[in-house]
């Protein structure tokens, strides 16, 4: 659903995909209170390839452990939902919500105690989406297979 302003309408939770990482139909909480998007992942290794810093990590999703690799963009201090300051690795990868695909910065964090394996923060939402907090699953998931 796209509004007259060109922004897509999302609910407070949506299924999203990270196609370059091979992750499809991940349930994500849309959180305007969080600045940064976050993915539940276990960091396995940091390494250098072709002069760039990379990170190898594993995402446990849908009962399957998915090994992933991405260029490491940064390591940042992020305040968690319980107020603790954590140093997290940051990657940048295409993120798909409905028909919209864009590159998003995503921190890798232990979200095992959270209901959703992914959180979409307001930086990713800005100038792209508007949130209807009274609804869920407003965007069709084209690759939920």
CA distance 32 to 110: 20
Specify the CATH number for 8-131; select among 3.40.50.300, 3.40.50.720, 2.40.70.10, 3.90.1580.10: 2.40.70.10
| Model pLDDT, residue 145 | 47
| The dihedral formed by the CA atoms of 24, 26, 119 and 7, expressed in degrees to the nearest 10 | 70
Report the chain's C-alpha Rg in angstroms. 15
Strand-pair category, 37-40 with 42-49: unpaired
List, as one string, the DSSP characters of 34-84. -SSEEEE-EEEEEEEETTEEEEEEEEEETTEEEEEEEEEEEEEEEE-TTS-
Predicted confidence pLDDT, tens digits, the chain (145 residues): 666 578 999 999 999 999 999 999 999 999 999 999 999 999 999 999 999 999 999 998 878 899 999 999 999 988 777 778 889 999 999 999 998 999 999 999 988 888 999 999 999 999 999 999 999 999 976 655 4
Q: What is the pLDDT of residue 1?
A: 64
- pLDDT computed for residue 30 by the predictor: 97
Contact 42, 112 (CB under 8 A): no
Q: What pLDDT score does 2 carry?
A: 66
pTM: 0.90
- The full set of domain ranges for the chain reads 8-131
């Amino acid at each position: 659903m796209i509004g007259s302003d060109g922004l897509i309408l999302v609910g407070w939770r949506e299924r999203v995909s990270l196609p370059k990482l091979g992750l499809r139909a991940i349930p994500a909480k849309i959180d305007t209170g969080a600045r940064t998007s976050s993915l539940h992942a276990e960091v396995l290794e940091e390494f250098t390839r072709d002069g760039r810093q990379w990170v190898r990590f594993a995402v446990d999703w849908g009962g399957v452990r998915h090994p992933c690799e991405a260029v490491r963009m940064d390591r940042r201090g992020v305040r968690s939902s319980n107020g603790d300051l954590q140093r997290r690795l940051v990657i940048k990868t295409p993120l798909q919500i409905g028909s919209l695909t864009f590159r998003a910065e995503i921190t890798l964090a232990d979200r095992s105690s959270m209901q959703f394996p992914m959180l979409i923060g307001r930086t990713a939402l800005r100038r792209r989406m508007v949130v209807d907090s009274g609804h869920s699953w407003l965007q069709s998931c084209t690759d939920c297979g």
